Structure 1
């Protein structure tokens, strides 16, 4: 009887935390609607079909990178190498098409994923085996991969004429008015979101982020799970590089520069706790869409591009502060209810 009663406070506190996170996702949706509505008042073309397609396309790669970043951050780690992986993957895929113009376009995506998987595996291996903080590991990987990219590119550029038209079609084709690029990413988001809710191995990522030591004592293979999170993040960044090439049909050594910080901001704004242990794939995708919409909105209103970064930084600070407040509130609620039940 005592054991059953003692679980109630934890369950109630977790339920309230989950409700607050769901409310946060709803808040992101409301903020998205408000930004679109206010911008449309001053620029009526903002809601045109072409403008909406640009919004969805522009957010797609960031949302894709956000899926992998979410897995890593939930485990109380971070992957800052995703932007450089996008650039390296995009160029390697493009250069492969230059040297093998008859190569089936599906191989382009396979090559991109493999490039990202190698970087992700190295990041995961170093983080889990040497116990070096992931912030240090992936920050170093950011510069190392960017340096390798610059060495390979050597001042050259992949031009649209070298990229197969069928591959480029993926970047601009619309299905009933919806960008194909957005549909591809939406499928990835849906699959990842389902996996995070349904599979035990995915749910164990939350346990690791909430309390790594307790997760290890409970028999969860923490090293293997964290390694897998980095591997998936790298693989999706590699896929993002291939999609980057399909969208822009050109790439040089600067491809993907700065993406890592925008992705982390989008994920955290979307409700993924920077301290680990909570968050959803859908929230991260909504965060990417919100930040991209704000950027497009400011651009359409001819506001200085400086404000894009300022707004992203402000939202990031607010999101981190909210995460901290939420975790403290849930902890206090759990402690007080456990004390009340002991008194009973």
Structure 2
């Protein structure tokens, strides 16, 4: 066999081995993220002995519940190659309407308030879905415009005034502070939502269609999947989660104001990216976004405990996100190269 052929074969095998390793990293990246979270938690515990206390862990999980709910909706949007920048404004709008309702009608059933927030959010999300799926606007343009519109509506209906805790009945505040079956209500709501959507994503035709639209839109159309309907669905779901989160947010912090959750959409997107959701679409796991949300929750809790300057906290979070994106990109590139080499062989 000619020497150059042997050399080429050896190089091909070497590249295949490297790419296979990257593929394995990509396959089990959640384990790597979990290991990083554990190492980070242990390191912080050495610096501050109260970090892993039962009380602090419970606070971290509770504070991460709303973020994890929103990250689930954002994952569905990102999987379809979209993005939603309006969720912070939807949170503010639904939260403000809910706060106004309970301050006016003190005996209003909390479940009706939650339902009201979800309906408001779904309507807002459906508007995004129509602009994107029917009119054909780019997701980033449509949701950016809607973000400003909803924020303006929130300031208008509030008259620029806050609604504080003394104006809210205890039944409303207890939505976020109360417990059911020994669990904080926020945690319980998040668990129920995740179990429901784990089934939808992994065991229903709709779940498969959502990923099909994101991974290969042309093939999805050929196979009869109605892309417009799927896009409308995921943005409506995202809006519903944002509306629900608005009620939970106001209940948790016992305050409603026009700039509530301003910029929070970027934190939600960051949780998805840290969890391995691909911005290019077609890729994302529930286990990943749970871990991504937990990592951000740990950072938000640990950095103040370590007396890190608030000016550095945002920078450190941004650096971690940047590293995660770079790793995801390199690993994904290796996986694609590996698949290409296998087809050639």
Asked if Structure 1 and Structure 2 have the same fold, meaning a TM-score greater than 0.5 normalized by the shorter chain, the answer is yes
1:301 paired to 2:297: no
> Does the Cα contact within 8 Å between 1:168 and 1:247 map onto a contact in 2?
yes
After superposition, the Cα gap between the structure-2 partners of 1:238 and 1:18, relative to the gap in structure 1 and judged at 3 Å, is farther
- State the Cα distance separating 1:33 from its structure 2 match: 1.4
Question: 1:128 and 1:102 mapped to 2: Cα distance?
Answer: 40
1:120 pairs with 121, 125, 139, which one? 125
Quick one: distance in 1 between partners of 2:62 and 2:236? 25
Aligned to 1:234: 239
Aligned to 1:314: 319
Q: Which residue of 2 aligns with 1:217?
A: 222
- Matched-pair contact (CA < 8 Å) for 2:26–2:335: no
Structure 1 match to 2:7: none
Query: What whole-Å deviation, never above 9, does each CA across 1:46-76 have from its counterpart, x for those lacking one?
Result: 1222211210111111111001100000000
Structure 1 gaps of 5+ residues are 1-14
Provide the secondary structure at the position in 2 that maps to 1:207.
helix
Q: Could you say which residue in structure 2 is the equivalent of 1:280?
A: 285
In the superposition, the TM-score normalised over structure 2's length comes to: 0.89
Match of 1:165?
170
Provide the residue aligned with 1:102 in structure 2. Answer: 107
Is contact 1:268–1:316 with CA below 8 Å preserved after alignment? Answer: yes
- 2:10 maps to what in 1? none
Q: How many residues align?
A: 326
- Give the whole-Å Cα distance in 1 for the aligned partners of 2:44 and 2:220: 46
Gaps in structure 2 of 5+ consecutive residues: 1-19
Distance 1:22 1:329, change over 3 A: closer
Structure 1 232/18 Cα, relative in aligned 2: closer, same or farther at 3 Å?
A: farther
Select 2:208's aligned residue among 180, 203, 211: 203
| Distance in 2 of aligned mates of 1:327 and 1:81 | 29
Aligned equivalent of 1:90 = 95
Paired with 1:22 and 1:162, the residues of 2 have a C-alpha distance of: 50
Contact 1:73 1:273 (8 Å CA) reproduced: yes
Pairing of 1:18-29 with structure 2 (within 5 A): 20-29=25-34
Give how far 1:167 is off: 2.2
The answer on whether the counterparts of 2:114 and 2:247 sit within 8 Å (CA) in structure 1 is yes
- Kindly report which structure 2 residues correspond to 1:55-204, keeping only aligned pairs within 5 A, or say none: 55-174=60-179, 178-204=183-209
TM-score (norm 1): 0.90
Shift, 1:236, TM fit: 0.4
Out of 268-277 and 159-168, give the one that drifted further: 159-168
Query: Measured at CA, do residues 191 and 17 of structure 1 come closer, stay the same or move farther in structure 2, by a change above 3 Å?
Result: farther
By how many angstroms is 1:312 displaced?
2.5
Out of 245, 253, 257, the position equivalent to 2:250 is 245
- Cα distance 1:17–1:154, how it changes in 2: closer, same or farther (>3 A)? farther
Q: Check 1:279–1:147 CA distance in 2 against 1; reply closer, same or farther (3 A cut).
A: same
Root-mean-square deviation (CA), in Å? 1.9
The corresponding residue for 2:46 is: 41
Distance in 2 (alpha carbons) for counterparts of 1:21 and 1:200? 25
Pair 1:178–1:105, CA change in 2 (3 A):
closer
Per the alignment, in what secondary structure is the counterpart of residue 195 of structure 2? Answer: helix
Conserved? CA contact 1:265–1:312, under 8 Å: no
Once residues 307 and 291 of structure 1 are traced to their aligned partners in structure 2, the CA distance between those partners, rounded to angstroms, is: 15
**Cα distance change, pair 329–54 in 1 and its aligned pair in 2 (3 A):** same
**Is the CA contact 1:266–1:288 (under 8 Å) kept in the aligned structure 2?**
yes
